[in-house]
Structure 1
């Protein structure tokens, strides 16, 4: 070796992960290294840049940033960077800049990947520098998305503008123009009692030739939805999605500190799901709703490509699905007339949990008022259910193959019958009855009398908590789907059929995870719908060993993100999206992380079996 290569070899031997390589491999690497000098304040890697080499800092200092410019890490002598882009065979996600005059060793991509794939300890050292491999990749993905890492208060650029309820409408409009705002909060001595937007003034006052000297209270919206200033921007966006509002008051405790407008969120997402929801509400026919399918798919793909978390994607897609249901019900009323008695239309399963992706079917039901008389009312509600379910199928939500739809007479019943259903399922459980009814334990009212759904949720919470026989039966069902990991911790793939050599990430991954999370949530009386929110309740209840809840959260996030990414790639290739992946098509890094996630699921199922003793449910 030349003297310069010997000097490089001597340097590398001092630092991990090179200490885990054989002398022969290390010598071969030293021979391939190129030396680069970069001046202070020089960018080395830009966001989105193709990564073709691995960087080791010989001298100087390098700073690594998140996409929003936040400092993520600082590298000095012996530090390395660029491995994230190489391991995912993609583009750089973490910009790097020299903050001092620096000397870098660069190692070609093929040389780095060869060392990574053939030397386990070398690979482990790289992956485990920041806690576990899975925790690292999930936390980086979360930090990389600005909506997940930005607080609501950072979105505010003006203080809240308030006025009294007796202020004339024309004076409010002038004040809004003077302050350069699109909304005003209405408050009296009791606090905030309403909000008025520029759209309200236009539609509720000017368009109908209203006397503009009338008090603003005549046109204000009193059903106020708000968010606390210390919450994350993602929560603000999801709140706006859930309630279809374009202005969201921000409170510090009970005091308003500002208002977030739709435009404040849009700069974080180029093809925003808020736009799609708004478009859904403005369609006049089922055929027009059907035409939005491509926009929904494009929104999903954009969120995946922007590295949004599965929590964010699932919540946004569920909000879109909920908007479809609500608009179809409005169109149904236009066709059929008003409902003869109060009712609540339920979303079930992944939509109720706010964990929906682009591959989904429809699961729904109807709760009718206890005054329901089949002879007088059922013809209307059957027609209503048929209109909505047919419309959902056209809009891209296929009929449920198991018949869990409001068109099924069994799932179109008065509240008292639904209470009997759940009482029977919980107090006299059997694995068979709960297998058929499992999906009903994830329910949300999306239209009509929401208190009907709340009534059932209260019943479930009260009767399920501490009911050992019921929980044992639920646990037994939750253990029927196991992760695809063999005895030697290798993947077990489908052997034949259309999806041979694949793994169904829903059936063997996210579904058993959500099942076991649901059992724990029912055991502690959690009222949360979403699996991640249920995990927060489970963590507070301390029914799992320290760190286990975070492990389950990471496993669910990672498997869901791989599932979403696979569906987005299939859409991009004009294929029918599915839940099945070919493990060999994943990068080595993703395969190892996916194996880690499945092992966490396996261990979580072992604990479920220990805690709830599901075998006793068969007696």
Structure 2
């Protein structure tokens, strides 16, 4: 092949959809190409003229317009245009104008038609728009992972074994032994039909019965676990895994309406979940001191890399990593209480930010706080809670969770307060917002009670839900604040890079990607009264209210997933290569596939921010 043609071929194979074409088709394309140069300002194709070519941009950028004259899109190097006219009646549907000097490869209509007929991936690519391509890229990854597509009922291999709540201890143990099960469902049979009331496990028998030498005739209802965590039979295996991680349970009853279909055990999940995050959580709870926890923490990054390499999605990875971080905090709180004695008044330890949203990765610091019961007397009780907070914070630092540079930790007395004070905080932040309280809202409005009297945290969630949705001024200012971080996409759909400093020639996938998304999703969630914390779950709640038009919630979900997974892969690669992971990415380190779809995802974020500004009347003024 001539050097000129080889250069054309090498350039095109860097970009979708040409990067996946077989050699025979690539050679056919290259042999047919006509190379044309257009100066900036030149009309390349006119509305209604005969569609004869597929255009590939070697260099430069163009604007594509709708029939009405409205700007439709801007595309640049490695991207195509003209496919819709070729697919629809051979007429140009979208006129195109050069906005930079452009070198264009023109592929004849008959070659385009041949490619469309011969290659399914090429046909899929040209038939769908940018956002649909983004959705296709996301769904293809999900479909390749059995955890994402298999229902939890696949793990049920037998009928549930149950007994009435009136059964005695020895009889319950006999039923479990004869049936070879590690958990027994306990049913309330006083109504018209049996109703699931509780569960007893092998571990419960050891720790609650044998250890305390309970009599064999003790009613099982005295030691059973009530208030069960269950999962729907319609749920997927990955949802069962995340539920176990989040709640630290090893047995999960599967419910279909009022019927109990069976019980999924930790061992059942492990057969599918080879990344070992559940094993790691179990190992955390077995440790006796901070030294042991520090040793276990060395496995966290390995678990993260395994999940990435087995194509877990970002929701799974973020939830698993948050579950691991939550488990370290919970175990440290248990160890702290053993060391300091029982707390003088009830309290709740809260996780904030990414851990509360189940979106934590390996590059993370501590964000936590304490809610104390209103019987708290500082002079009598605060020495205990300060010591406990310091024990936990220092322990987390030992385990790789660095101290928060903004001092958003329970060691700060401002974030270690009675419930009434916390209610006052949130009321003031919503009713009288200012620059500082809006920054606080971005952290504290993502909260999760992870230890102690967690109902205290639920009371704060209720307060936030009720007040925020009814405060238009607060939502306007919060929306304006959410517009401060924009995606790194320039006018010509090029990446906007850091110009100086240690991260020059890079863009930050957290600060310029996932953070703007979580910020704008939070605003919509607060506006519609959603109680969810996770961004994906919030999008589900938002979609139900019709606050977002058409399929915008789905577009945001796909954008969040794709940006997150590129960020996750970037961190995993750094770990595998022995480097410290971070969030700063150089465009040349991304594959053409990632670069192309990141541009699509960033465009979704940019459009969503425009809607946010319109929906909440969030102008450009910074006067709050």
Q: How does 1:299-448 map to 2 (within 5 A)?
A: 299-448=303-452
| Aligned-partner Cα distance in 2 for 1:436–1:118 | 52
Query: Which residue of structure 1 aligns with residue 531 of structure 2?
Result: 527
Q: Which residue of 1 aligns with 2:118?
A: none
Q: Which residue of 1 aligns with 2:67?
A: none
Query: Structure 1 residue 594: deviation in Å?
Result: 0.6
Displacement after TM superposition at 1:298 (Å): 1.2
**1:491 and 2:495 aligned:** yes
Task: Give 3-state SS (helix, strand or coil) of 2:355's partner.
Answer: helix
Question: What's 2:552 paired with?
Answer: 548
Q: Output the CA distance in 2 between the equivalents of 1:23 and 1:354.
A: 45
Residues 414 and 200 of structure 1, relative CA distance in 2, 3 Å threshold: closer
SS in 1 for 2:371: strand
Whether the 8 Å CA contact 2:575–2:581 is kept in 1: the answer is yes
User: How many Å separate the matches in 2 of 1:328 and 1:24?
Assistant: 59
CA distance in 2: counterparts of 1:448 and 1:472, whole angstroms: 35
Q: State the SS of the aligned residue for 2:199.
A: strand
Which residue number in structure 2 is paired with residue 563 of structure 1?
567
- 1:509 Cα deviation from its structure 2 partner: 0.2
Map Cα deviations across residues 85-124 of structure 1 (whole Å, 9 max, x no partner).
Answer: xx9xxxxxxxxxxxxxxxxxxxxxxxxxxxxx97898897
Q: 1:272-297 CA distances to partner (integer Å, 9 max, x unpaired)?
A: 21111111111111111111122111
C-alpha displacement of 1:566: 0.9
CA distance in 1, matches of 2:217, 2:600: 66
Quickly say closer, same or farther: Cα 1:596–1:467, change in 2 above 3 A: same
Moved segments of 4+, more than 6 Å: 16-19, 21-24, 117-124
TM-superposition CA deviations, 1:69-96 (whole Å, max 9, x none): xxxxxxxxxxxxxxxxxx9xxxxxxxxx
Residue 179 of structure 2: aligned partner: 179
Secondary structure of the residue aligned to 2:147 is helix
Give TM-score, length-normalised by structure 1: 0.79
Contact 1:472 1:617 in 2 (8 A): no
User: 1:169 aligns to what?
Assistant: 169
Q: 1:8-23 residue pairs with structure 2 within 5 A?
A: none
**Alignment partner of 1:141 is 2:141:** yes
Q: Are 2:620 and 1:618 aligned? A: no
TM-superposed deviation, 1:174: 3.2
Shift of 1:208: 5.0
Q: CA 1:498–1:262 in structure 2 vs 1: closer, same or farther (change >3 Å)?
A: same
Following the alignment from structure 2 to structure 1, what is the Cα–Cα distance between the partners of residues 603 and 122? 17
CA shift digits 1:48-89 (9 cap, x unpaired) = xxxxxxxxxxxxxxxxxxxxxxxxxxxxxxxxxxxxxxx9xx
The alpha-carbon distance between structure 1 residues 433 and 209, as it changes in their structure 2 partners (threshold 3 A), is closer
> How far did residue 354 of structure 1 move?
0.7
Equivalent pairs counted in the alignment come to 519
1:49-88 equivalences in 2 (<5 Å): none
Per the TM alignment, residue 225 of structure 1 is displaced from its structure 2 partner at its CA by: 1.4
**1:283 equivalent in structure 2:** 287
3-state DSSP class of the match of 1:407?
Answer: coil
Within 2, Cα distance between the matches of 1:372 and 1:352?
A: 25
Determine helix, strand or coil for the equivalent of 1:473.
helix
Instruction: State the alpha-carbon separation in 2 of the partners of residues 358 and 342 from structure 1.
Output: 32
Task: Mark the runs of 5 or more structure 1 residues left unpaired by the alignment.
Answer: 2-15, 31-86, 88-116
Deviations 1:500-558 (CA, angstroms, capped at 9, x unpaired): 22111000000000000001111111111110111011111111220111111000000
Question: SS of 2:298's equivalent?
Answer: helix
Q: Does 1:581 align with 2:579?
A: no
- Higher mean alpha-carbon deviation, 208-217 vs 489-498, is at 208-217
Q: Deviations over 1:427-464 (max 9, x none)?
A: 11123431244211111111111121111111111111
Mapped contact 2:164–2:189 kept (Cα < 8 A)? no
Contact 1:473–1:618 under 8 Å retained in 2: no
The 5 A counterparts of 1:238-317 are 238-317=242-321
What corresponds to 1:76 in structure 2? none
In structure 1, distance between residues paired with 2:589 and 2:512? 18
For 1:439 and 1:119, the matched residues in 2 are separated by: 51
Residue 142 (structure 1) shift = 1.3
Residues 1:194 and 1:554: Cα distance change in structure 2 (over 3 Å): same
Instruction: Provide the C-alpha distance between the structure 1 equivalents of 2:421 and 2:156, rounded to a whole number of angstroms.
Output: 48
| Structure 2 residue aligned with 1:228 | 232
Partner of 2:159: 159
Offset from partner CA, 1:332-353 (integer Å, 9 cap, x none): 1111111111111111000111
CA distance in 1, matches of 2:480, 2:505: 28
Contact 1:430 1:617 in 2 (8 A): no
Deviations 1:121-155 (A, max 9, x none): 88975535566221011011111221211112121
Return the alpha-carbon distance in structure 2 between the equivalents of residues 170 and 216 of structure 1: 9
Indicate if the aligned counterparts of 1:431 and 1:473 stay in contact, CA closer than 8 A: no
Q: Distance in 2 between matches of 1:24 and 1:417?
A: 67
* Partner-residue secondary structure (3-state), 2:568: helix
Deviation at 1:205, TM superposition (A): 3.6
Match for residue 604 of structure 1 among 580, 602, 608: 608
Question: So what's the TM-score if we normalise by structure 2?
Answer: 0.79
Moved more, 122-131 or 354-363: 122-131
Identify the match of residue 28 of structure 2 among 26, 29, 33: 26
Once the two structures are overlaid, the 10-residue window that deviates more, 295-304 or 165-174, is 165-174
- Structure 2: which 5+ residue stretches go unaligned? 2-16, 33-77, 79-103, 116-120
- For residues 287 and 416 of structure 1, what CA distance do their matches in structure 2 show? 37
Cα pair distance change 1:195/1:578, threshold 3 Å: same
1:561-619: CA deviation from partner (whole Å, max 9, x where unpaired): 11111111111111111111111111101110011111110111111111112236726
Aligned in 2, Cα 1:198/1:378: closer, same or farther, shift over 3 Å?
closer
